[in-house]
Amino acid sequence: MPEVLTQTKPAAATSSSGKAMISSARIARRVRRLGRQISDAYADIETPLVLLVILKGATVFAADLLRSLSIPAELEFVRAASYGGGTASSGRVRLAHMVEGTVAERHVLLVEDIVDSGRTAAAVTKRVKDMNPASVRLAALLDRPARRAVNVTIDFRGFTIPDRFVIGYGLDYAGLYRELPDIHSLG
């Protein structure tokens, strides 16, 4: 874990080298493209697409993605947390809040900020499949394959990133930095 516990922006966000890993402009372009791709993929479905957003990190991505769609879509949320609060190796995922509307017979697109071990996406996918949806696919803004522990298929991927912890654009460290418009790596 990186050593950043202050209330101020981390060095990565403010240093004179100051370069973001992924700038807000680049994110915006990529998200618009993903929106077009998703709209094409679901062009023929007869019910509104259900965007199932994995709280909290994916909310910023989801808000932009939603506005990049040219097909009708609904929003649902699920809260997922690893047991043991923190390390990527805890291995089990608890779903604390499940969708309010029904997803039976509906086309569901999971929206995740980053796929790391893959456990969160795999756990949510499994639970959704138990609810008898018409289909389940996954959109992830970031893919960090270096620490993958579970096989997951990412149907719509924003960026593949190296093995660095990242913050900004919804992604947090200890609850902070979600407001940064760019994505930065810590350490």
Which residues of 61-160 form beta strands (DSSP E)?
73-82, 93-97, 107-115, 135-143, 156-160
Tokens (6 digits) for 174? 């200890």
Among 64, 113, 116, 182, the active-site one is: 116
Please, which residue, 50 or 166, has the CB nearer to Mg ion? 166
Q: Across the chain, where does the E strand assignment appear?
A: 49-55, 73-82, 93-97, 107-115, 135-143, 156-160, 165-167, 184-186
Measured between alpha carbons, how far is 119 from 102 in angstroms, rounded to an integer? 23
- Per CB under 5 A, 57 contacts Mg ion: yes
In whole angstroms, the minimum distance from the beta carbon of 166 to ligand IMP comes to 4
Taking CB under 5 A as the binding criterion, the range among 5-13, 41-49, 62-70, 111-119 that sits at the site for Mg ion is 111-119
Minimal distance, residue 36 CB to Mg ion, in Å: 24
Known catalytic residue at 44: no
Interface residues with ligand IMP (CB under 6 A) are 54, 57, 88, 112-120, 165-167, 171-172
Residue 34 CB contacts under 8 Å (≥ 6 apart), including other chains: 65, 68, 139, 156, 158
Query: Between residues 5 and 88, which has the closer beta carbon with respect to ligand IMP?
Result: 88
- Pick 65 or 171: Cβ nearer ligand IMP: 171
Work out whether 158 is an interface residue with Mg ion (CB under 5 A).
no
Q: How far is the CB of 168 from Mg ion (least distance, A)?
A: 14
Least separation in angstroms between CB 162 and ligand IMP: 11
Phi, psi of 99 (to 5 degrees): -50, 145
118 touches Mg ion (CB under 5 A):
no
Nearer to Mg ion, 10 or 57 (CB): 57
In whole angstroms, what is the distance from residue 53 CA to residue 62 CA? 7
- Residue whose pair of structure tokens reads 């372009």 in the numeric block: 29
